[in-house]
Copies of this chain bind each other. A is one copy, B any other.
């Protein structure tokens, strides 16, 4: 039976979900697929390339189904929320994305989808891509920390003397992750809204 590229990616994501990024080795992946590791290298020149394809698959999961019709800000919020959900859906998903600079099909089409939300609303094309990339940096940084937070303890005993401030810092870590994600996203959206109003005026 011929080993297909897509099947390797599927198996690699299953291995990731089971063992995390540190457990994802070409040897274990080969064992899971019943092939020698060399057969995988025929499709992916190195682990980096495999991680890129895995990240691209995850992004693809976020683009389906198409966004519901709506205002640009509702759509863009949904777009960012889906991207977060797609990374959270897999163990260490954000770290997989972080190590790669993906330019594969799904990622490019997701980028295109984001840019179109903005340009359809009247945002200048030459800055719409900058906005979408910035938005993705926030999503990536947020989900990286969200997935790392299992290791987090409290902020007590960290040398902060101001108890009101200490309590506020602790509350950040304890807050509802959906709500906190939406808050940061809202700051960003406010900025986009302002620039859009300027562009349209």
A192 at the interface (CB under 8 A from B): yes
A53 to chain B, nearest CB (A): 14
As a 0/1 sequence over residues 121 to 162 of chain A, the CB contacts with chain B under 8 angstroms (1 = contact) are 000011111110110111111101100110111010011101
Interface residue range, chain A: 35 or more
A186 to B190, CA, bound (A): 11
Task: Evaluate contact between A112 and B194: CB separation under 8 angstroms.
Answer: no
- Residues of B near A111 (CB, < 8 A) are 169
Q: List 10 A-B contacts (CB under 8 A).
A: A98-B98, A115-B165, A115-B168, A129-B169, A133-B145, A133-B180, A137-B142, A141-B141, A141-B142, A189-B191
**Which residues of chain A have a CB within 8 Å of any CB of chain B?**
48, 94-95, 98-101, 103-105, 108-109, 111-112, 115-116, 119, 125-131, 133-134, 136-142, 144-145, 148-149, 151-153, 155, 158-160, 162, 164-165, 168-169, 171-172, 175, 180, 183-184, 186-192, 194-195
